[in-house]
Amino acid sequence: MSSQSASSHSRYVPGFHFLTYAVVAAALFIAIILMVHRGVSHETVFYLLTAIGMGLLTFYVRQFSVRNQDRIIRAEENFRSYRLTGKMLDPRLRRSQVIALRFAGDEEFVSLSQQAADENLSAAQIKAVIKKWRADHHRI
């Protein structure tokens, strides 16, 4: 696996992130054009509803999987906090902060999580101050 850093940890799956969205956008565009040229009919309404349904399905499939990954990360980081400190994560930490903290090594996790809670650091600020990056090759 390639090394990760704050500037290179984003991951894209071209078939999903680019091709699928392009196909859905094209289907919606074609459905609208057909409706304009052929008028409103059962057929054109069906095409439009199908394209909208594909778009919603694509959007929600991604949202549901990301939310599930976020829940898993929170559980993992809560366990890591408990393992390192004997306490659960500070409840003031937002989801985005916990997700950013997962990239911090154990050596700096405790102090950085306290700093993030006390100073309300953004996810980008947390990632920027991490000295020893802990890669995550599993999240998409």
Q: What is the pLDDT of residues 39-50, one digit of tens each?
A: 999 999 999 999
Residue 138 is assigned to a structural domain of this protein: no
CA dihedral of 16, 18, 20, 24, whole degrees rounded to 10: 150
Residue 9 is assigned to a structural domain of this protein: no
Q: Judging by beta carbons within 10 Å of its beta carbon (0-12, 13-18, 19+), is residue 34 exposed, middle or buried?
A: middle
Residue 134 is assigned to a structural domain of this protein: no
Supply the range of the domain harboring residue 52.
14-129
pTM of the model: 0.74
Residue 1 is assigned to a structural domain of this protein: no
**pLDDT band at 133; cut points 50, 70, 90:** confident
Domains held by the chain: number: 1
Q: Is the pLDDT of residue 12 over 90?
A: no
Tokens of 45: 């309404």
- CA 92 vs. chain centroid, Å, equals 20
Residue 110 is assigned to a structural domain of this protein: yes
Q: Is the pLDDT of residue 22 over 80?
A: yes
Residue 25 is assigned to a structural domain of this protein: yes
Q: What percent of the chain has pLDDT over 90?
A: 79
List C-alpha distances in Å: 105 to 21, 58, 88.
35, 34, 17
**pLDDT band at 18; cut points 50, 70, 90:** confident
